[in-house]
């Protein structure tokens, strides 16, 4: 089906979300919509999917005008959408969610659960989206829920599939899976609209890219356009995509973790249940260095951060901050001891959406002078500080009294950073700090983290974005099933990192990582742009993120001997003697 959007305009009060947008999507293509947060991509797709009505403009399907009053019309017309925020019923099983609205019934109207389950299993195998049909949706991790969402759209045999930021919650391996599926769908004659703000992915998968900025189309480009040009179109100015950093100068040991064991919370991926979320971790971080924790989401990173913050109890082991034992300290105590925490989910754990910026900036310091004296808050002091921070961090807002939920994701993250690094911290714990942020904000956050490092703060950076890990880390620790499978310098090749992330070739070599979704089911297809092993910084235009799944598992020449670290997670000591930490250019 060829879709054409002509002159689509949508206003929310004085805000013009879509400004006379023209877009044509041809059959059998993957069309990317690229733009910063707030550019109007989601609004445009909501119009196409019938969730909202345009103020002006028309939609044509194969030359015929198409009116879409509701998603029902859209689905009937063959348009399917996978939303950025999932539309799943938490208490339903996967099968129930996938067949919701399209239920299979036996005579008398009884639900035919067996057929539903079979259908889900069939589809999940056909497209390689592994899910357990009987798993309870609310127990699944975010990445798996994403798969259910995609299955939902595929079940209804959509001819045009709209994917709204689908990779935001996927690991590199899962992203590669998704791309494979998208290519298959494209070969089968479908059209796919792929909304994203991630340059690399868009370049990897799209046949053509339309860039939106502030509600207008600012250009359409082929995927081999340079990253810098795309970024500049998105943001309106030239953007430094890889922040430069000088070599680290690590000082004394700031964080000392020994044999940390944190009990598990809930069930994980199909087929597995971790016995302990964090299973005997030991590591040290020095002042003035950044330890990047790489790993597929769901291997205990979240639990590690929460245990370090005191939000989860520790079963055994010890945590020392600057030689103080904080293993059993309260979160408040740890904050006072000098930990800054940028949580993974900024809206759930980091901010109070309905509170103004000024109150969020003092969320953890409100009861200390100068922000309070005794029981009374010192409002003027709070206001002054908030205004100073807004200036310093360039937070775009009308006033400091604006509720933070009205800010864009990037600005919200800046509020959190302003709060955490505004205090005198010794250790900065940053978990997925640039998740969901646009290019400009990512640049800011990265620069700020490096600044903190240069000021002597020890930084633990947990991220599932390998680009970020490579760009910022002075040392990389790879986490798998609650343990560190290895410590590497940032010049480690991606493939090796990928294997370690999958639990292969490291200290422990568990059951070939079949429990882990990072390994794609099809080892036959070499990933695009997989460079020759051991070759640092190749000039390969393809993105590196999907490359982790490339080589066959267990390929011995990828340096299994090189990763032969001792059986315990004893890390190599002090990278301080390596002044030329080479920063791998993530293509």
Partner 1 sequence: MSEQAPAPAPAPVPQDDRSSGDSRPPFSRVVLDAVLEGNSVVVTILAIFTAIVLGGLLIAFTNTTVLHAWGNLFSNPGNAIAQAWDAASGAYVAIFEGAIFNPHTVSALFQQKSMSVALHDGALSAVFNPLSETCVQATPLILAGLSVAVAFRAGLFNIGAESQFIGGAILATWLGYGVSLPPVIHVIVCVLGAFVGGAVLGWIVGVLKARTGAHEVIVTIMLNYIMAYLLAYLLSKPSLLEELGANGNLISPNIASNAHLPLLAGTHLRINAGFLLALACAAGVWWLMSRSTLGFEFRTVGANPNAARSAGMSVPRTWIMVMLIAGGLAGLSASTVIQGTDFSLNFQSYGTYGIDAITVALLGRARPGGVVLAALLYGALHAGAPLMQASTGVPVDIVQVIQALIVMFVAAPPLVRAIYRLRAVRAGGTGQVLSKGWRT
Q: What angle do CA 206, 490, 433 make, to 5 degrees?
A: 60
Under the binding rule (CB under 8 A), the answer on residue 201 touching partner 1 is: no
Among 141-149, 179-187, 468-476, 566-574, the segment contacting partner 1 (CB under 8 A): 141-149
Q: For the window 496-535, what string marks contact with partner 1 as x by the rule CB under 8 A?
A: ----------------------------------------
The distance of closest approach from Cβ of residue 300 to partner 1 in the complex, given in angstroms and rounded to an integer, is 15
Nearer to partner 1, 189 or 265 (CB): 265
> How many whole angstroms separate alpha carbon 304 and alpha carbon 461?
12
Minimum distance of partner 1 from residue 253's CB (angstroms): 24
Q: CB of residue 15 vs partner 1: minimum separation in angstroms?
A: 6
The CA distance from 554 to 560, in Å, is 8
Taking CB under 8 A as the criterion, the residue among 3, 5, 32, 42 binding partner 1 is 42
* Ranges within 393-452 binding partner 1 (CB under 8 A): 396-399, 402, 405-410, 432, 435-438
Long-range (24+ apart) CB contacts under 8 A made by 393-396 are 393/417, 393/418, 393/444, 393/448, 394/444, 395/357
Cβ atoms 516, 506 nearer than 8 A: no
At its nearest, how many Å lie between partner 1 and the CB of residue 318? Answer: 21
Binders of partner 1 in range 277-316 (CB under 8 A): 309, 311
Query: What's the maximum distance between 2 C-alpha atoms anywhere in the chain?
Result: 75
CB-wise, 221 or 435, nearer to partner 1? 435
Q: Which two tokens stand for residue 499?
A: 């294997």
Nearest residue (CB) to partner 1, 410 versus 506: 410
- Least distance from partner 1 to the Cβ atom of residue 543, Å: 18
Q: Which is nearer to partner 1, 158 or 500 (CB)?
A: 158
User: By CB under 8 A, is residue 375 in contact with partner 1?
Assistant: yes
**301 token code pair:** 């990173």
The arrangement of strands across the sheet holding 290-294 comes to 339-342, 427-431, 458-462, 290-294, 475-480, 483-488
Nearer to partner 1, 261 or 402 (CB): 402
Residue 439: which H helix or E strand, with range?
A: helix 439-454
Nearer to partner 1, 337 or 565 (CB): 337
Using the minimum distance from each CB to partner 1, give the nearer residue, 46 or 203. Answer: 46
User: Does position 266 bind partner 1 by CB under 8 A?
Assistant: yes
Nearer to partner 1, 146 or 485 (CB): 146
Residue 482 CA to residue 266 CA, distance in Å, equals 14
Compute how many other C-beta atoms are within 10 angstroms of the C-beta atom of residue 214.
Answer: 14
Contact of 190 with 79, CB cutoff 8 Å: no
x/- string (CB under 8 A) for partner 1, residues 69-98? --------------xxxxxx-x--------
Residues 143-172 that bind partner 1 (CB under 8 A): 145, 164-165, 168-169
3-state secondary structure of 110: coil
CB of 140 to partner 1, least distance (A): 7
Choose the binding region for partner 1 from 133-141, 179-187, 246-254, 445-453 (rule: CB under 8 A). 133-141
1 binds partner 1 (CB under 8 A): no
356 versus 551: smaller Cβ distance to partner 1: 356
Taking the complex as a whole, how short is the minimal distance between the CB of residue 563 and partner 1, in angstroms? 31
Q: Pattern 210-249, binding to partner 1, x per CB under 8 A?
A: ----------------------------------------
Ramachandran assignment for 51, one of left (phi > 0), alpha (psi -120 to 50 degrees), beta (any other):
alpha
Q: Around 587, how many Cα atoms within 13 Å sit in the side-chain half-sphere?
A: 24
Helices 113-126 and 142-155 meet at what angle, rounded to 10? 100
* Pair 558, 473: CB distance under 8 Å: no
Supply φ then ψ for residue 117, to 5 degrees: -60, -40
């Amino acid at each position: 089906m060829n879709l054409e959007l002509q002159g689509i305009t949508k206003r929310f009060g004085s805000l013009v979300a879509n400004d006379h947008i023209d877009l044509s999507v041809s059959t059998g293509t993957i069309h990317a919509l690229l733009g910063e947060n707030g550019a109007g991509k989601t609004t445009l797709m909501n119009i196409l999917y019938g969730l909202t009505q345009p103020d002006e403009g028309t939609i044509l399907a194969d030359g015929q005008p198409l009116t879409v009053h509701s998603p029902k019309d859209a689905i009937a017309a063959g348009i399917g959408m996978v939303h950025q925020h999932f539309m799943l019923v938490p208490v339903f099983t996967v099968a129930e969610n996938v067949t919701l609205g399209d239920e299979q019934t036996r005579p008398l109207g009884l639900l035919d659960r067996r057929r539903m389950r079979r259908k889900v299993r069939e589809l999940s195998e056909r497209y390689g989206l592994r899910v357990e049909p009987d798993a309870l949706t609310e127990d699944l991790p975010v990445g798996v829920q994403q798969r259910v969402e995609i299955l939902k759209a595929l079940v209804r045999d959509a001819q045009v599939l709209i994917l709204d930021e689908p990779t935001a919650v996927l690991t590199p391996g899962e992203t590669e899976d998704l791309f494979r599926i998208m290519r298959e769908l494209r070969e089968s004659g479908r059209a796919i609209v792929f909304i994203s703000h991630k340059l690399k992915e868009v370049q990897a998968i799209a046949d053509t890219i339309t860039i939106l900025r502030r509600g207008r189309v600012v250009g359409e480009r082929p995927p081999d356009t340079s990253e810098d040009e795309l970024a500049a179109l998105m943001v309106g100015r030239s953007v430094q995509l890889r922040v430069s950093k000088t070599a680290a100068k690590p000082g004394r040991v700031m964080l000392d973790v020994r044999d940390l064991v944190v009990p598990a919370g809930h069930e994980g991926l199909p087929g597995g249940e971790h016995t302990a979320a964090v299973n005997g971790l030991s590591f040290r971080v020095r002042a003035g260095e950044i330890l990047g924790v790489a790993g597929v989401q769901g291997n205990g990173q979240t639990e590690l951060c929460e245990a370090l913050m005191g939000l989860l109890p520790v079963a055994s082991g010890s945590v020392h901050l600057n030689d103080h034992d904080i293993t059993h300290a309260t979160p408040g105590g740890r904050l006072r001891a000098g930990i800054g925490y940028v949580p993974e989910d900024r809206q759930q754990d980091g901010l109070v959406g309905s509170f103004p910026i000024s109150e969020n900036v003092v969320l953890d310091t409100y009861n200390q002078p100068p922000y309070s004296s005794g029981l009374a808050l010192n409002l003027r002091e709070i206001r002054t500080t908030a205004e100073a921070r807004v200036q310093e961090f360039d937070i775009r807002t009308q006033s400091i009294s604006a509720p933070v939920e009205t800010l864009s994701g990037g600005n919200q993250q800046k509020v959190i950073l302003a709060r955490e690094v505004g205090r005198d911290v010794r250790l900065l714990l940053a978990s997925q700090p640039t998740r969901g942020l646009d290019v400009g904000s990512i640049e800011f956050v990265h620069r700020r983290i490096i600044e903190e490092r240069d000021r002597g703060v020890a930084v633990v950076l947990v991220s599932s974005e390998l680009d970020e890990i490579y760009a910022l880390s002075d040392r990389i620790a790879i986490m798998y099933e609650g343990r560190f499978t290895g410590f590497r310098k940032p010049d480690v090749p991606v493939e090796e990192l990928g294997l370690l992330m999958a639990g292969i070739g490291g200290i422990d070599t568990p059951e070939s990582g079949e429990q882990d979704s990072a390994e794609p089911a099809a080892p036959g297809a070499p990933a695009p742009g997989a460079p020759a092993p051991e070759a640092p910084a190749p000039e390969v235009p393809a993105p590196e993120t999907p490359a982790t799944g490339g080589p066959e598992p267990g390929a011995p020449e990828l340096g299994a001997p090189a990763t032969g670290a001792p059986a315990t997670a004893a890390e190599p000591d002090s990278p301080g003697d390596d002044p030329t930490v080479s920063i791998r250019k993530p293509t």
